[in-house]
């Protein structure tokens, strides 16, 4: 039997193209999808027997989409701070991963990130990590959507011996979970400096064969770009373009160091860019040129990166940082409006994932992934513009309730799918062992 719910927020921000904030409107959910968006009185008259959820001084918005993260790395939060990227990777992160990462480590870290995400209004994690079966299980157990990666790097790790082994294990995981409605899959080469031409071509073919989006770190640092010129005689984007990877399937992560010709090419080939403002700032990698990207019409979305480099997996923080950084760097306060910043974490992100027809906005027929944000606190008053309030005032701590596909996974700040205390105990036990044996 299909359950019907009426969510009654004070304000409703559907994020549908051209939409405005709706006052005293209800969202009607039937099963896992949105059945109607109506004024309160009309919704109650049309659905008299529906379950009612009163949301007082709340804004109801689409579930936020984290366009790039490494979920399991929540277990490395704070392990190596205040370092440049390659020092951080080579001397700290990769050695720790080689020693510790296995299926259970990845599952527990991924579940911890899923819990953090849901409590922060995130209903979709686009992940990149090893042991994809662990991420898939964690997402399903938490009740969160995830883009799970067939992640490939050219050197051996504790997960796989080389590129073909990564691909084989990723494909086996994909086949195991294919059809699970909470999961999408990506073909995910790590980065141009860790993946060969031959491997890139294999992953492009994998994407084409299975209809998968691609997910790759590109142009993250100036050293990466200069190293590519020295090794390959060209910048990373030129190399990837010659290999046939730059198209509407590619989600290019970071993309900090770009010239005008590259921006023009990205726009022409409809590549999606994933902006990670706080991680890039913390690693001193640079600032993505959002004003130029917006002017070119490139679909740019937001991600947190992993908890080892951010260290918060906080999409409200990324939304605010993206808006403020773009203004400060460009000297133009109109560069990224509050509405644009919210689109980068909702509708634009859904399009980048290839899910724009079902996610990213609260429209009839779409999946009922929605988040209630309370503006009742003293710190959130007064409210002139609810949309701007979400960007410049409210934070993830004001998220009270979350639904994924009509299922309530956060209720009054409490997780309904995860035993929070038991999860913390398991993760602390893993970290205590890591600290003891370092």
| pLDDT per residue as tens digits for the range 218-270 | 999 999 999 999 999 999 999 999 999 999 999 999 999 999 999 999 999 99
Q: How confident is the model at residue 86 (pLDDT cuts 50, 70, 90)?
A: confident
Alpha-carbon distance of 427 to 112, in angstroms, equals: 8
Residues above pLDDT 90, as percent of the chain: 94
Residues above pLDDT 70, as percent of the chain: 100
Whether 310 maps to a domain, the answer reads: yes
Q: What is the CATH number of the domain that holds 370?
A: 2.30.40.10
Q: Looking at the whole model, is its pTM more than 0.75?
A: yes
- Asked which of 352, 368, 384 is the last residue of a domain, the reply is 352
Is 94's pLDDT higher than 90? no
Domain shared by 114 and 52, yes or no: no
Whether 428 maps to a domain, the answer reads: no
Query: 321 by DSSP, 3-state: which?
Result: helix
Selection from 323, 362, 434, 369 nearest residue 118 by Cα: 369
Lowest mean pLDDT: which of 13-17, 157-161, 181-185?
A: 157-161
Question: Based on the structure, what is the number of domains in the chain?
Answer: 2
Q: How confident is the model at residue 183 (pLDDT cuts 50, 70, 90)?
A: very high
Is 98's pLDDT higher than 70? yes
**What is the CB-side half-sphere exposure of residue 243 using CA atoms within 13 A?**
23
* Structural domain range at position 35: 4-63+360-405
Q: Do the Cβ atoms of 118 and 135 come closer than 8 Å?
A: no
Q: How confident is the model at residue 1 (pLDDT cuts 50, 70, 90)?
A: low
Domain shared by 57 and 86, yes or no: no
Alpha-carbon distance of 329 to 321, in angstroms, equals: 12
Domain shared by 303 and 323, yes or no: yes
Stretch 422-438: mean pLDDT, rounded? 92
- Output the pLDDT for position 84: 86
Q: Do the Cβ atoms of 138 and 110 come closer than 8 Å?
A: yes
Domain shared by 58 and 92, yes or no: no
Domain shared by 274 and 397, yes or no: no
Whether 412 maps to a domain, the answer reads: no
Domain shared by 239 and 192, yes or no: yes
Domain shared by 168 and 277, yes or no: yes
Q: How confident is the model at residue 12 (pLDDT cuts 50, 70, 90)?
A: very high
Domain shared by 224 and 248, yes or no: yes
Domain shared by 198 and 211, yes or no: yes
Is 348's pLDDT higher than 70? yes
Q: Do the Cβ atoms of 329 and 287 come closer than 8 Å?
A: yes
What is the number of residues in the chain?
Answer: 438
- Output the pLDDT for position 437: 78
Is 415's pLDDT higher than 70? yes
| Dihedral over alpha carbons 329, 331, 334, 337 (to 10 degrees) | 30
Q: What is the CATH number of the domain that holds 310?
A: 3.20.20.140
Domain shared by 139 and 99, yes or no: yes
Domain shared by 301 and 399, yes or no: no
Domain shared by 155 and 212, yes or no: yes
Whether 237 maps to a domain, the answer reads: yes
């Amino acid at each position: 039997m299909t359950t019907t719910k009426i969510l009654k927020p004070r304000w409703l921000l559907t994020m549908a193209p051209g939409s405005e904030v709706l006052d005293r409107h209800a969202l009607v959910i039937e099963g896992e999808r949105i059945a109607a968006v109506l004024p309160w009185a009309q919704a109650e008259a049309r659905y008299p027997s529906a379950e009612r959820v009163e949301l007082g001084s709340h804004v109801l918005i689409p579930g936020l989409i984290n366009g790039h993260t490494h979920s399991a790395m929540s277990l490395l939060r704070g392990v190596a701070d205040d370092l440049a990227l390659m020092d951080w990777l080579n001397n700290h992160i990769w050695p720790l991963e080689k020693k510790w990462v296995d299926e259970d480590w990845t599952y527990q870290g991924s579940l911890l990130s899923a819990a953090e995400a849901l409590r922060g209004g995130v209903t979709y994690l686009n992940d990149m990590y090893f042991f994809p079966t662990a991420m898939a299980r964690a997402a399903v157990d938490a009740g969160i959507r995830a883009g799970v990666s067939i992640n490939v790097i050219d050197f051996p790790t504790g997960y796989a011996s080389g590129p073909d082994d990564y691909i084989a294990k990723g494909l086996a995981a994909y086949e195991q979970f294919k059809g699970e409605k909470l999961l999408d899959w990506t073909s995910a080469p790590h980065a141009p400096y860790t993946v060969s031409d031959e491997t890139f071509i294999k992953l492009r073919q994998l994407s084409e064969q299975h209809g998968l989006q691609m997910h790759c770190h590109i142009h993250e640092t100036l050293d990466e770009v200069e190293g590519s010129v020295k090794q390959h005689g060209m910048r990373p984007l030129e190399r990837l373009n010659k290999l046939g990877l730059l198209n509407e399937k590619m989600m290019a992560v970071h993309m900090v160091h770009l010239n005008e010709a590259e921006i023009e090419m990205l726009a022409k080939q409809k590549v999606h860019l994933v902006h990670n403002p706080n991680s890039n700032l913390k690693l001193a990698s640079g600032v993505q040129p959002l004003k130029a990207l917006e002017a070119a019409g490139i679909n740019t979305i937001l991600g947190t990166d992993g908890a080892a480099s951010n260290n918060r997996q906080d999409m409200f923080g990324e939304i605010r940082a993206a808006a403020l950084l773009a203004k400060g760097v460009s000297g133009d306060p109109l560069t990224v409006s509050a509405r644009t910043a919210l689109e980068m974490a909702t509708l634009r992100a859904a399009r980048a994932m290839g899910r724009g027809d079902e996610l990213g906005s609260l429209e009839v027929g779409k999946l009922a992934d929605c988040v209630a944000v309370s503006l009742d606190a003293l710190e959130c008053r007064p409210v002139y513009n609810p949309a701007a309030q979400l960007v410049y005032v409210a934070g993830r701590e004001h998220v009270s309730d979350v639904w994924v596909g009509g299922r309530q996974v956060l209720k009054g700040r409490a997780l309904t799918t995860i035993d929070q205390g038991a999860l913390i105990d398991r993760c602390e036990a893993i970290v205590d062992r890591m600290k003891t044996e370092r």
